[in-house]
Every structure is written in C-alpha cells, then in structure tokens.
Amino acid sequence: MLSKYALALQKIYWFAYLQMLWLLFTLCGLIVFGIFPATYALLTMFKDAEELSAREAFHKFKTIFVSSFRAINQAGLIWQTMLFLVASNLFIIPNVGIYVQVTVIGVLGLTILGIIHFFHYFEIDKSSLFQIKRAFSFVFLQPRENVGYMLILVILLLATQFIPGITFFYGISTCAYFVVKIGKYEHRLN
C-alpha cells in the first residue's frame, strides 16, 4: 500500500520537475527561441520513459535542448509566424461575420494540430519545410489522434481558466504526457 503512494508521489514530483525544466529552458531561449526546443525535449523525455534521477533528467533535457536548438528553431520560427498571421486575423477583422471567425479559428486549430504532429515526428536531419509539410499531412491522415489532441488542448484551456495554480505546475507536462500516450496508442493500432 505504501509503495502505491510512493509511486504516486514520485509521478507527481516527476511531472512538476519536467514542467519546471520546460519553463526554465523556455525562458533561457527568451521564449521565442526556447519554446520549440524545450517542448521537443519535454516530449522526448516522456517518449523515452526512463527512470532517471533529477540530475540525470536535467542533463538529458539540456542535451536534447541544445542538440535540437538550431534545427527545430528554423521550423519553429515558421510555425510561430503562421500562428501569428492566422491569429491576427481574429483581431484585424473582428466585425466581418461569424463564418469568417469560425473559419479562422478552424485554420488556427489545424495549425496547432500541425505543430503537435511536428513535435511528435521531428527529425533533426530532415529539412524544416519537409517536416512542416509532413506535419500538415499527418493532420489529415490521423483523425483519431487529432480528436485526442484537441481534447487535451480544450482540457488545458479549461484548467488554465479554473485552476491556474495547478496548471502552472503541471499543465504542459501533463499535456505532453498524454500527447505521447495517444501517439503510442495509435502506433500500436496501425
């Protein structure tokens, strides 16, 4: 019985620790340049699922962050530009009509799904444009994953609204964990 509680506490600590690493490395990259490599490192940590000490996890996270920094930021700047341009349409044309706003929100959702697929299938040695095109193709080829990813994003938005303190310590790491779980489940089905 005690070991179940110890495992649960260890899991809670692990999620909070990875969240803080993600936040630290995102800030080290001045947010714009840090968010993509930090998110990739976070997802990779969950994909590997090794038992690591805090020090080993920090060094592994740092190694992944540094080794992918340049390659992933080339694509990251393109993704961020796309997100900015699509999201700015909501503010530039606010009184156009509900159909245009729904279309813009739909395109924004497709772009976010593309980013999730990009992180999930990122390879350092491939070109950025190839990986962006591949990510968008996965958006249309894997609808079951997309439903799961959108559910995760909706839950994150609701959690941010209603329990922001807990979301600050566990939001991104919990989302990354479930993104990896959904990806592994889909690969087992295929």
User: CA geometry: angle at 82 spanning 80 and 85, to 5°?
Assistant: 105
What are the pLDDT tens digits along the chain (190 aa)?
568 887 888 888 888 899 999 999 999 988 888 899 999 999 999 888 777 888 998 999 999 999 989 989 988 899 999 999 888 877 777 677 778 788 888 899 999 999 999 988 888 888 888 999 999 999 998 888 899 999 999 999 899 888 888 888 888 888 899 988 887 655 544 4
**Rounded CA separation 8/185 (Å):** 22
Residue type at 174 in one-letter notation: T
**Does pTM top 0.75 for this prediction?**
yes
CA 56 to chain centre: 22
Instruction: Let me know if 171 is exposed, middle or buried by CB neighbors in 10 A (0-12, 13-18, 19+).
Output: buried
For residue 136, CA distances in Å to 49, 57, 94, 118, 139 come to 27, 31, 27, 8, 5
